[in-house]
Amino acid sequence: MTSKEELLQELSEAIISCKKDAVLAAVEKAKQVMEPAEIIGGVLFERGKLFLPHVMMAADAMTAGVKVLEADMPAGTETKKLGVIVNGTVEGDVHDIGKSIVSTMLQSAGFEVHDIGRDVPIKNFVEKAKEVNANMIGISALMTTTLQGQREVIELLKEEGMREKVKVMVGGAPATQAWADKIGADCYAENASEAVAKAKELLVGK
């Protein structure tokens, strides 16, 4: 039987080839021995695997693979949600594959997730958080030029008197723990699996 490492390598190569059919075939093969969340966490958008221009070229293939896996993921607990999270990519940044994967993983873990998309104006993060009474805002930035938007969301939360009750998670290729500390974010997540773990830690205490 093919090992998990070999399956993930096959999937990674299929994504790099930008061929949707190859990605879907690799996903189906991996599903025989791995959980959907494990496949997503294992290769799709883990940091450092693909350079950003390549990610953009492979976007369609990656999205198709994630959609197949989403259908097989548990919907999360309907009776009791772990928390309410607003998740989006900052204004000026049109990358949203990683952010969408984080939203999917959080949802399947039992959080109520409001994904507000990409290229989102700063005020929209705060307005949506007010509207849905969010416990956390997830802010993605995939370019150094848009990283500043993460700081601006935090500053606006302070201005609106909401910072104490809304946790902030930052992520994206140029973001780091040092950056999160500098701007006063509650946590930094390097990938989707870590985002789920950090959200549980901050909102559920486990």
Q: What is the pLDDT of residues 43-82, one digit of tens each?
A: 555 444 555 555 556 666 777 777 777 777 665 544 457 8
Helix axes 97-108, 192-203, angle to 10 degrees: 50
How much is the average pLDDT of 129-148? 95
Topology given in CATH for the domain delimited by 84-203: Rossmann fold (3.40.50)
Total-model pTM: 0.72
Strand partners, 140: 89, 171
Helix, strand or coil, per DSSP, at residue 179: helix
| Residues in CB range of 10: below 8 A, 6 or more apart | 2, 26, 29, 30
Candidates 1.10.3720.10, 3.30.420.40, 3.40.50.10950, 1.10.1240.10; CATH matching 4-72:
1.10.1240.10
Q: Say whether pLDDT at 187 is over 80.
A: yes
| Domain spans in the chain, listed from the N-terminal domain onward | 4-72, 84-203
Query: What pLDDT score was predicted for residue 31?
Result: 86
d(CA 20, CA 127): 36
